[in-house]
A and B are shown apart, each in its own frame.
Chain A
């Protein structure tokens, strides 16, 4: 096990948070999309994270616990939220139904912005972890130096 393992774990988290950021960007970009290939308005998408399955190392400590660490995080799926969207009375809109109501996407910009902040902070935190891991490796190189 080397310092590259720590880098890979945090790197996987950075990738996951970037995917989350892309999904949020897509949600905000489609906040007014009323027509999709599947029919109906755009539906809010959310990412589902899962831990990356650790390679079994067959290492058992004296107390019987596992000694192998995890391998980071991965994006398991991007799922659509099925909550109903807002409707607005716009009879002239090409996507209006028989009663003149247009269904808009169930994307709430405020929620998305809060999610975006969370993603940013999580990304930042993982960068801090990487820098700490690097600082530890640099300290290890100082061993024996006079």
Chain B
């Protein structure tokens, strides 16, 4: 389920970022791996989010085209898309906060 995927980021993503400091040996490869996983997580989350948005879009397009789609099904799809977008935004805010916090660490 895409939502669960988005929700999963909060825990694992921050752990990974936090792991940079404790990595110890070879700061450069550790940072690189973290950057990769960070990007991948963001990618996965956005893909899941996009799928829901596309679903909502497709159902409203079907309604507009005059196909026998239930009005409430379209509204529910749009609401789901709205909520998952908000959830993704919150996750983005959390991730950026954590990232900036770590960026501010002075060595």
| Interface residues of A, Cβ cutoff 8 Å to B | 2-4, 7-8, 11, 14-15, 18, 127, 130, 134, 137-138, 141, 144-145
Contact A11 B1 (CB under 8 A): no
B20 → chain A closest CB, angstroms:
23
Judged by DSSP, the binding face of B is helix
A108 → chain B closest CB, angstroms:
28
Q: Which residues of B contact A7 (CB under 8 A)?
A: 76, 79-80
| Interface residues of B, Cβ cutoff 8 Å to A | 1, 3-4, 70, 72-73, 76, 79-80, 83, 86-87, 90, 94
CA distance A15 to B69 in the complex (A): 11
A57 → chain B closest CB, angstroms:
14
CA distance A18 to B82 in the complex (A): 24
Contact B90 A11 (CB under 8 A): no
B91 → chain A closest CB, angstroms:
10
Cβ contacts A to B, 5 pairs, < 8 Å: A3-B83, A15-B70, A15-B72, A18-B72, A134-B79
Q: Which residues of B contact A130 (CB under 8 A)?
A: 76, 79
Q: Which residues of A contact B70 (CB under 8 A)?
A: 14-15, 18
Instruction: Give 12 new A-B contacts, CB below 8 A, not counting A8-B76, A141-B90.
Output: A2-B4, A3-B83, A4-B3, A7-B76, A7-B79, A7-B80, A14-B70, A14-B72, A15-B72, A15-B73, A130-B79, A141-B87
